[in-house]
Each structure stands twice: as structure tokens, then as C-alpha cells.
Amino acid sequence: MAQMIQRGKEWIRINTQNNSIECSKDGGRSWHIRFFNISGGKGIFVDLFDNGSEILACTSKGVFSSKDDGHSWQSRCTNNAFGDFKQLSYDGQVLIATTSKGLFCSKDGGHSWHRR
């Protein structure tokens, strides 16, 4: 699971102690909160995935996306029919999700999912 990713000169990570997204611009010497999930509305962050133009996050409530390097998050898939999303990966053509109900794949950036 990627709880930390690099985007350009910046590192972005999940702080599991307070369920926040943090960033470092100095190689990890100092960290600053970028997104604080105060109400828990996005669920518990468990995995980050750099999808090029956006960041995808697996949470206990589904998959969320951020187009502003983690400052804000939008719901991408919160259908519990797929189970709890645990991890995302990419095989070059398809986004693959490991969930509590098995492997699912998406050809449209995580908007729709099909059992693999």
C-alpha cells in the first residue's frame, strides 16, 4: 500500500494517526497538513495512487480523487457493492483495485468497476 507518493518535488502522505493528508517540500524533514478529514466524511484514508493528472485515494468509504495535489477530494466511487477498497494499482491499461470482495478493474479512471 502506498501511504506516501511523490509528485514532482513534493511528497504526499497519509497520516494514519489523525487521518489527514500531509505534504513535505523538503524531502520529508518537515510535514504540513494539506487536508484534515475533520468530520470523517471521506472515511479513513488507506492508500494513495498517483494517476498522473490526479491523485486517487482508497478510503473506508470508497475511492476519492484530488486534482489539486490533495487539498480537496471528490467522490469517485462509493458503491459498497465492491467491498472496502484497500489498494489501487495500474497495469498500463487498466486501474486495478484490491477490495474486501476481490479484484476489480476500471478502464475509465475509477468511475466504473468490473470484477476481474
Task: Using the predicted structure, report yes or no on whether residue 62 has a pLDDT greater than 80.
Answer: yes
Write the CATH number for 35: 2.120.10.30
Cβ within 8 Å of residue 6, ≥6 positions away:
12, 50
Kindly state the percentage of the chain with pLDDT values over 90. 68
Task: Using the predicted structure, report yes or no on whether residue 36 has a pLDDT greater than 60.
Answer: yes
- Enclosing domain of residue 86: 4-115
Q: Which pTM was predicted?
A: 0.89
pLDDT of 11 reads 97
Number of domains in the chain: 1
Task: Using the predicted structure, report yes or no on whether residue 92 has a pLDDT greater than 90.
Answer: no
Task: Using the predicted structure, report yes or no on whether residue 1 has a pLDDT greater than 60.
Answer: no
Phi-psi category of residue 59: left, alpha or beta, with phi > 0 → left and psi -120 to 50 → alpha: beta
The Cα–Cα gap between 15 and 105 comes to 27
Contact 24, 5 (CB under 8 A): no
Question: b/e for 76-103, b at 16 or more Cβ within 10 A?
Answer: bbeeeebebbeebeeeeeebebbbeeee
